[in-house]
Amino acid sequence: MTRYAYVLITGASSGIGAALALECAAPGVVLHLSGRDAARLEATAAACRARGAEVRARVLDAIDAAAMADWISQAGRLDLVVANAGISAGTGDGRAESAAQVRAIFGTNLGGVLNTVLPAMAAMAAQPAGPDGLRGRIAVVASIAAFLAAPGAPAYCASKAAVDAWTVGSIPSARARGIGLASICPGYVRSAMTAPNRFPMPGLMDADRAARIILRGIAAGRRRVVFPWWMGVAARLLGLLPLAWSAQLLAIAPGKEAREG
């Protein structure tokens, strides 16, 4: 696996973020990790230090643009940045998402990504290129949900669609600045986010396996990393159906648990 000496990961207190941190942790590696839960973030940091990495953990909410910009600007060289922080909720009780839910989901899943990626791009553009010719790599965690407009989680799907489209569309301009950019679109991954789901989750995988797939895709220079591949294909095909048909099929699946933020 490709090793990065200087790595920054948001949402590193659990799930994919914590698994990525552990996969990257090794002697000589400096990890900048952020999350909102201090206890869980410290647990991730301790596990990474046990693998020999130097860890600089910071309790941060990705929606705080000023704090994020300050943290990233002070990190020093960054070889890999993963904008992973995200939240979910849905309409599991049969009601529409509340205004608070919608704003919170877009605020973190889209605003939090921009608060991470934009300052990271600025920092990377000012640093010298590495052996691979790139000044750095940035991965944005979207979702296979980006390919659908599921009535059970409309804000989540829409926020991930926006993140995926913006990331993929920004790849050429980022490359011109010497920065590798990738959109990561996983299916169901065991985490605190999926734990409340009370419906079948096809293709469900452990976070450590997901992290290895993500890191291999980034190292290979893939623009979009979709897994499991068959779920990505199914989502794309479902999205090609007439809206009346796809809406009827998607309505069969129960929504995510309705939660604030």
Active site residues: 156
**Nearest Cα to 14, choosing from 31, 38, 32, 30?**
38
Assess contact for 85 and 41: CB atoms under 8 A: no
* HSE-up of residue 166 (Cα within 13 Å, Cβ side): 17
Residue 214 near residue 7 (C-beta atoms within 8 A): no
Sheet containing 30-35: order of strands:
54-59, 30-35, 6-9, 80-83, 136-141, 179-186, 224-227
CA 239 – CA 150 distance, rounded (Å)? 10
**Residues in Cβ contact with 128 at an 8 Å cutoff, skipping those fewer than 6 apart:** 135
What whole-number distance in Å separates Cα of residue 90 and Cα of residue 143?
A: 15
Q: Which of 56, 21, 43, 47 is nearest to 211 (CA)?
A: 21
